[in-house]
Amino acid sequence: MVVGACSQWPEAPRAAFQTRGNLNMQLRKMMLVLTALGAMSGLMAGCGDDSTSPGACTSNDECGESEICHPTAQVCVQTCNSGSDCPSTAKTCAPLGGTSTTSICQCSTDVLCNGGTDSESTGLVCSDLDNVCVTACTSNAECTGDRTCNVSTGQCEEGDTQPTSCSGEGRSTCAHGQICSSGTCSAPPAPTCQNYNEFPNKADLGTTGPIIYKVDFVSATTEGTPGTFCASSSAPKRLRIRVSAYSATPFPQTSAELSDFFYILTNGGRQNAPVSSSSGNYTVSGTNRDQAQITVSLCVAADSRTNSSGFYFKDGNFACFQSNY
């Protein structure tokens, strides 16, 4: 049958045509919805937090797995073995400095700290003192230690660099991380012993934790009998070493509560520092329990005449000590 231009479709073909038309319409609508969703997801992907502000910190625990808390800038910084480990904002891998041998990613320009030339951010500066990206300061209160803020540059600058006089020992009137030595505030002696050289966890060290300011030989006596501290016949000699330290937070009341205090062997191995619970081995003083004298007991061979040991608190300095007895 020939159908003219104005003729009516038979019912069955017309129904099939309408069904196909409805399907096509539904497909077009679905494509429009998917296109819209794709555009929205792309838009949302571009709406993330583009802040490059470094994370403030006071200890390594507040930083990521491959980061440490910079001891003076007090921001989390990336550790590295080479420049390829570093982000585009801080491309140089260099030693942290001081007594630390840890290398960190260091910046070179304010522009890179803020994300490069395509970024409109200006809130960060590359610290002239620490070579890490920090938030530009607007007042002295935003700088660490005795540093002062240069509001025109946003840089925290070094304050009085002359040695501060002090009296006594320990922290005295010095900044945290320093010790009073011969009437002058100074950094603790740099560790040079084999214990330190072989120690693999140098990232655990710092200047914000308890600071060891003195280590003394106490005694070396032979025990080796049941019930004594050094009961083993292979290591019957008990070597006592007194470690003196100060802390910004109170030391615990008893040695049993003492944590994150370590003894380092000559091979770099780490142990919890062994402290006897008997009277006189743990003494805390100061109005805020900020001073501690801790006697560590080591069991050594009967013919032992000398011992090299290392001690540190987490986020504190490393102290080497050579005992001769």
DSSP letters along 275-312, please?
Answer: B--STTSEEEESTTS-EEEEEEEEEE-TT--EEEEEEE
pLDDT at 45: 37
Are 188 and 182 contacting, i.e. CB atoms less than 8 angstroms apart? Answer: no
Task: Report CA-CA distances (Å) from 287 to 52, 109, 179, 184.
Answer: 41, 45, 18, 23
pLDDT by position in tens, the chain (length 325) = 444 444 444 444 444 434 444 544 454 545 544 444 443 343 333 333 333 457 889 899 999 999 999 998 999 999 999 999 999 999 999 998 776 789 999 999 999 999 998 888 889 999 999 999 999 998 888 898 888 888 888 999 887 655 678 999 999 999 899 999 999 999 999 999 999 999 999 999 999 999 999 999 999 999 989 999 999 999 999 999 999 999 999 999 999 999 999 999 999 999 999 999 999 999 999 999 999 999 999 999 999 999 999 999 999 999 999 999 9
Helix (H) or strand (E) holding 76: strand 76-78
φ, ψ at 292 (rounded to 5°): -140, 135
Give the CB-side neighbour count of residue 145, counting CA atoms within 13 A: 21
pLDDT at 158: 84
Domain topology for 179-324: Immunoglobulin-like (2.60.40)
**Residues ≥6 apart with Cβ < 8 Å to 195:** 264, 265, 266, 268, 308, 309, 310, 320
CA angle 199, 207, 176 (to 5 degrees): 150
Number of other residues whose CB lies within 10 A of the CB of residue 129: 15
Q: List the chain domain ranges.
A: 60-157, 179-324
Are 300 and 239 contacting, i.e. CB atoms less than 8 angstroms apart? Answer: yes
pLDDT at 40: 39
Q: Which residue has the tokens 């290392």?
A: 310
pLDDT at 161: 52
Q: How far is the C-alpha of 119 from the C-alpha of 260, rounded, in Å? A: 43
Name the residue among 231, 219, 238, 241 with its Cα closest to residue 325.
219
CA angle 194, 261, 235 (to 5 degrees): 60
φ, ψ at 22 (rounded to 5°): -65, -40
Three-state DSSP class for residue 228: coil
Number of other residues whose CB lies within 10 A of the CB of residue 62: 13
**Residues ≥6 apart with Cβ < 8 Å to 106:** 90, 92, 93, 94, 131, 132
Q: What is the pTM of this model?
A: 0.56
Q: Exposed, middle or buried by CB within 10 Å (0-12, 13-18, 19+), for 242?
A: middle
